[in-house]
Structure 1
């Protein structure tokens, strides 16, 4: 029956004692972790953080005056979505274009002169614009990419290159594609600087940098980077976020080991984004000018011919002014002709837009240039919606595949919007046809009125009307072209670089030596502490008096100190030892407990063999004898006799002989070298020991010995293996239950606890054997007792 009436509390001093006894484990772990931390600090390249800011603007283009004049370019300003712009900036295509403007194709590294590199190449630093050599790639040839090519400088302007790798990509830099995979690459060759190297895998040349001349024995390596690898690295390191919610100012951050490289990349990325935005706006303006120029080219010849026709007709027919009535009719006719011309122009314009939309020409991720001059608000809104859908699609493409359901939904919305635009344009063409027919009917009426005029005057007025119409149309287009040219000339992007890239923070973000060493020290202390705690919790053996008090209610008598194998009879052979002192203390306690009740028979047992039961019974009996008491020690464990290890005994006669052969008591008692101590060995090993102990003669033996001796000590068999103890229990006045420190399993006490709880065992006491004072906190104070022990 386990004792659970005490609250579980953590004994800090006990744990500190356990840790102190294993100080060497902590020292070794701390040294190991500090060594690992040192190697990590030395070999890890420092990574720094960089940041810049970018203003998105509000989508206004050109100067304010141009915005007022150029109604042809007006569109609904529906604003921009910050998330879409972030997606565009982080897109692979945008980063690819920025990297093409930078020379990051080859990365250079140097194996530094550090003692760790004598083991292997651990400490390596990247070089940028300070490498003592330069790799000149032959971009017309295929190259092996993304593997280190080691360069070892030799005397006489020579170097040795080596490269070993498997499944290496062969890259075509003309179109930035992988053309093949080489299963195994093994290159080793000695060359001179400026001597081209070319084989079936790659082609390049190494040139010395005069002011950074590499010295013989120095070791370097370089890596030819594929564009996909560079883009992937920059996408991974690039982070973009608004500086505040709903803000149009974006903060771009990146990380890298070479400050200049990362600063150049961030600046190049922002510049590319701003340039692309301005270029898209310029393309819109140029397409508008091209359309107007194409119309003006047609009208220039028409205007010249119409004016020439009027001049020739007047000269030929010598015509003067036309009367007022004719002028009024012709004015009406001119206005109608002008209206019809405008309607025809609009119809052509609408048909042109319709053709562009149906053929996909001019429909890009920005508003179509032709759509900008439409005076239909609904159609302008549709074009603005289409532009917004394309931006959303660009944003999703950054981190999504073509099979993404959101992309398919956006694609459907784009198709629906295009269909709505086509339907609106067809309606506008049909509306223009209706208006043209109406104007034609009105012109026919006026022409009927003018038919009554003289033929020459009527023809002159026809020619003048046609010339005026062409001239007005030409003037109108010239005006619009001037406005479009002004807008294009003053065009500006709404995107702006606010802060160029710069270093963020005061040091590297990945390697902080003080913090790393502190963490290594803490791990070196914490890990062994956790392991020791786990081992202590897993260990189910008796650790000391507190363990016993927690699992049993049986009273505690004392402890036997740890000794050497030679201390078989310690109380006699080494009376000043800690073991002898332990038995003296136990003898005093036992005599105090047995005083006045005529209790003489003491049984010594344990759970299993090996816990020191016989050792305790022999030395206890010896200690009682040395104190002046007459003692007899009985070896009742007739299955595994061990007295011959302690005494010079004869086993031909003993307890078994007395119980079976009827030998007299004097024939089985043997004297020992310990004064006042006699023993009765087990004798010959019987076939059935338990039956012998059940014989009435055993009771007679005990009764006789009680009359002859002050104490009768019985070394009984282990309670956990055999049943003899329960037979002998009726003869015992008191029992000692021996457990061994760090040996006896706690579960082995369940049986004796049940017997004690059922009150079948009386006067039983617990004894801890072989307790090392140096390994237990409870008796740690006894370590100082070595001054009193020999």
Structure 2
């Protein structure tokens, strides 16, 4: 038979075996589905709540183009990537601010029939904590109300009760070991005990029956932040979209909606405050510059008035127009370099004394149009703001923070180097311009000291006045930008129940899993049991294990013997078939002496021998049974006879004659020889010449001789007894005989140490065999 054929037979056998255990699958599936129903009934329902937010990468501005000073509040326009904004939205700092604005510190619960539900909108009572006292948190505090007695009872118990400072909203390191509270108070009276201090209100419209268990828990801020941070997720609708979905899950949709709405509101408010701080920083810097310019303007004006009063000159002649034009140009250039130097000196001071660079003013605020310096300052302020946001969300050892800090240090170093270079260059340029202005002044002095002094002072006053007006204009623009500033982050959809039905427990998944377990668990058990089961399960398996022909299959039966008054029973028919196969399917061979053996005891060897002898005797053949199993004789008991002192063992040692050991049975035409007293050396007895003499004489007297011998798998007597038999019937019992037990007989047959042997398959379930009387070679 091919391997593929064997595989097919294996699969068929397995399928038949599983099909025969249909009731196991039915019971386990029913139990699993029942467990699924119980799980759904006793598990709190979890809902998905989400809100949709517009999260633009660029903020709206109230001012003009990028080419203008402040560039439409360009100093406040640090755009962030959507991913960074999402990280800020669901950051620990933002969730913490949100929780501080919500009243989630106390959670109320009711439990009935193994189902615990959180009561958010309609709690059974209201608890107000004493914020000064230290409270235990995180454990259920049970409350039982007796309105008739006007009292309420508080019970709480924990192995280790952690402590919480409600006022400071911090968890304390200490705890109370073996904590237990069980006290009664009058309704309206505050409850004060170790680790608990609160007042409790019981509304009149609440029903406090004993059918429900009611309790509340005190939640710490850190625990709430950790819980909601873990279950809050956010993501853009697509890679190029600025619209973000923010989601969370929970038992009470109203509570989760309140949380999401407040989370987004807090984030938008924080963004607006951040932008306004940036704007106010710019205005403060402009105010500093205006103060300096204002003082210079006052002094220049005073100088002009003083010269006019001293010399009586009130008009500047046209003789110095050319020199004044040159001087005006040089003064303007010198003024620009002075402002640039003042800015560089100011920024050097800030960079060397501060560690927070978010509010470093831009060069444009001083009228400096230096692209490299401007881009470096803007990059430094943006990176500093990002670093501050990241520090709120994670530890300082985070690789991302380390990288950002290193980048900031590089930018600061680069900016210091650039500013120092500009200061040095400004000093050189200012000195040169001053020298050139001195030359012009000298020329002007030649034309007239008074006229030159008045013109110089007037020009200085005019230039300073222009600068003052310029700064005032920019301050006005910045003030308008701050007052009218707004972020373009806004809520598109307020928080809502996303699916309208619970996401957990998912009924389809629960029942699908239950059904799968109901099928797989018994399937796995049966397959594993079959894998480790070494016994022969059916006729097909027996034929694969051994090439020895199967004479017949004997069905399972509660009867031990075939009764003469039931000749047509299934058991009688099976042994009748075995007799026919034995006598007629091997024509030409002597089959007078039939020996029975097996692998081990309990396989039905004696049962088969007795019943085959019975059908032979009922067919009219003179038959005798010989109990050659002198170690564990069972034949006398099976035939319902009493044990006597004479038998095969006494005959072989010469203490009894053959006629003395032959006994009649209740079946006409069937005699028997019992084993006799158990000898100490059965193997030596069967080797005696008397054994051969016995079978020679019995062949003369009887048509059929049935020998019930010892199992071959345990002792070796049958190898010697088989010299006197014509055929050996090796009994194999279904679901009992081990496959490895047939290895010995297979090797003996293969080595031709034993011939004329057939298998008799005993105790076969009717569905597992091919009927009775199947014979194959």
CA distance in 1, matches of 2:427, 2:466: 21
SS of 1:619's partner is: helix
SS of 2:241's partner is: coil
CA distance in 1, matches of 2:602, 2:329: 127
Structure 1 length-normalised TM: 0.89
Give the corresponding residue for 1:419. 413
Further displaced range: 580-589 or 367-376: 367-376
Match of 1:583 among 575, 595, 606: 575
Contact 1:48 1:259 in 2 (8 A): yes
CA distance in 2, matches of 1:578, 1:387: 99
CA distance in 1, matches of 2:62, 2:30: 69
Give the corresponding residue for 1:609. 601
Match of 1:657 among 650, 675, 697: 650
Q: What is the CA distance between 1:518 and its match in structure 2? A: 4.0
Give the corresponding residue for 2:585. 593
CA distance in 2, matches of 1:299, 1:585: 129
SS of 2:7's partner is: coil
SS of 2:653's partner is: helix
Q: What is the CA distance between 1:754 and its match in structure 2? A: 1.0
Q: What is the CA distance between 1:266 and its match in structure 2? A: 2.0
CA 202–294 in structure 1, closer or farther in 2 if over 3 Å, else same: farther
Give the corresponding residue for 1:785. none
SS of 1:150's partner is: strand
Q: What is the CA distance between 1:494 and its match in structure 2? A: 4.0
Q: What is the CA distance between 1:282 and its match in structure 2? A: 1.3
After superposition, residues 129-144 of structure 1 pair within 5 angstroms as 129-144=121-136
After superposition, residues 514-529 of structure 1 pair within 5 angstroms as 514-529=508-523
Q: What is the CA distance between 1:316 and its match in structure 2? A: 5.7
Give the corresponding residue for 1:99. 99
CA distance in 1, matches of 2:2, 2:608: 26
CA distance in 2, matches of 1:32, 1:420: 74
Q: What is the CA distance between 1:155 and its match in structure 2? A: 1.4
Contact 1:167 1:181 in 2 (8 A): no
Q: What is the CA distance between 1:632 and its match in structure 2? A: 1.0
Give the corresponding residue for 2:719. 726
SS of 2:487's partner is: coil
Match of 1:165 among 158, 164, 175: 158
Further displaced range: 635-644 or 206-215: 206-215
Q: What is the CA distance between 1:707 and its match in structure 2? A: 1.6
CA offsets 1:260-308 (integer angstroms, 9 cap, x no match):
2222222222222222222222111111111112332344455345435
CA offsets 1:380-429 (integer angstroms, 9 cap, x no match):
33234435545765686688543344433332222112211121122222
Contact 1:571 1:619 in 2 (8 A): no
The answer on 1:640 being equivalent to 2:639 is: no
Give the corresponding residue for 1:788. none
Contact 1:571 1:579 in 2 (8 A): no
SS of 1:761's partner is: coil
CA distance in 1, matches of 2:342, 2:289: 10
Give the corresponding residue for 1:189. 183
Q: What is the CA distance between 1:551 and its match in structure 2? A: 0.4
For this pair of structures, how many residues does the alignment match?
767
Give the corresponding residue for 1:626. 618
CA 545–396 in structure 1, closer or farther in 2 if over 3 Å, else same: farther
CA distance in 2, matches of 1:780, 1:145: 74
Q: What is the CA distance between 1:613 and its match in structure 2? A: 0.9
Structure 2 residue ranges without an equivalent (≥5): none
SS of 1:448's partner is: helix
SS of 1:599's partner is: coil
CA distance in 1, matches of 2:630, 2:572: 27
SS of 1:679's partner is: strand
Give the corresponding residue for 1:54. 53
Q: What is the CA distance between 1:625 and its match in structure 2? A: 0.9
Q: What is the CA distance between 1:338 and its match in structure 2? A: 4.2
CA 388–464 in structure 1, closer or farther in 2 if over 3 Å, else same: closer
Contact 1:150 1:220 in 2 (8 A): yes
Give the corresponding residue for 1:745. 738
Contact 1:130 1:212 in 2 (8 A): no
CA distance in 2, matches of 1:217, 1:766: 70
CA distance in 1, matches of 2:584, 2:425: 126
Q: What is the CA distance between 1:66 and its match in structure 2? A: 6.6
CA distance in 1, matches of 2:116, 2:162: 24
After superposition, residues 462-473 of structure 1 pair within 5 angstroms as 462-473=456-467
CA offsets 1:571-594 (integer angstroms, 9 cap, x no match):
348656543343233223323235
Further displaced range: 741-750 or 80-89: 80-89
CA distance in 1, matches of 2:308, 2:259: 72
CA offsets 1:209-233 (integer angstroms, 9 cap, x no match):
4555655765321122111111111
After superposition, residues 53-452 of structure 1 pair within 5 angstroms as 53-65=52-64, 69-71=68-70, 74=74, 80-112=80-112, 117=113, 122-156=114-148, 157-182=150-175, 183-210=177-204, 212=206, 214=208, 218-304=212-298, 306-311=300-305, 313-315=307-309, 317-360=311-354, 363-364=357-358, 368-370=360-362, 373=365, 374-387=368-381, 389-390=383-384, 393=387, 401-452=395-446
Give the corresponding residue for 2:752. 759
Contact 1:649 1:681 in 2 (8 A): no
Give the corresponding residue for 1:786. none
Structure 2 length-normalised TM: 0.91
SS of 1:358's partner is: helix
Give the corresponding residue for 1:506. 500
The answer on 1:539 being equivalent to 2:533 is: yes
Contact 1:110 1:220 in 2 (8 A): yes
CA offsets 1:183-215 (integer angstroms, 9 cap, x no match):
332122223444322345232221234555655
